[in-house]
Structure 1
């Protein structure tokens, strides 16, 4: 896969991660962050970067765990 495609995947994950920090409500923040970290896992796979894969896998697990314990508000 060419480097432009790999970089694009990384930038998409970055933009989603930054966007998640700007939203109101913990539910939305964690949901969007879980998606961003899932994309980061794909990015890490493309780069064969195990620290990214491991770190983001843990983050996805933690976000999903907390999402299961949160009830979405109408404002989230």
Structure 2
């Protein structure tokens, strides 16, 4: 999976916006890219045979809203 992300990262950010002035420019652009990737870039997923597009952050929030909170071991 990480190879897939690295490929997208290079294809969507590094190659189109290069050449880069320095490492600091790449670091700041990477922070912006990760924020965009998680909160605004829609990804396709298949649910019950239907394709739905959502962001990773929205998918994670939906998952945790449907999951019962775990009780800490110390409280049991």
TM-score by length of 1: 0.32
> 1 or 2, which has the higher helix percentage?
1
For the pair shown, which has the larger CA radius of gyration, 1 or 2? 2
Greater relative contact order structure (CA < 8 Å, 6+ sep): 1
> 1 or 2, which has the higher strand percentage?
2
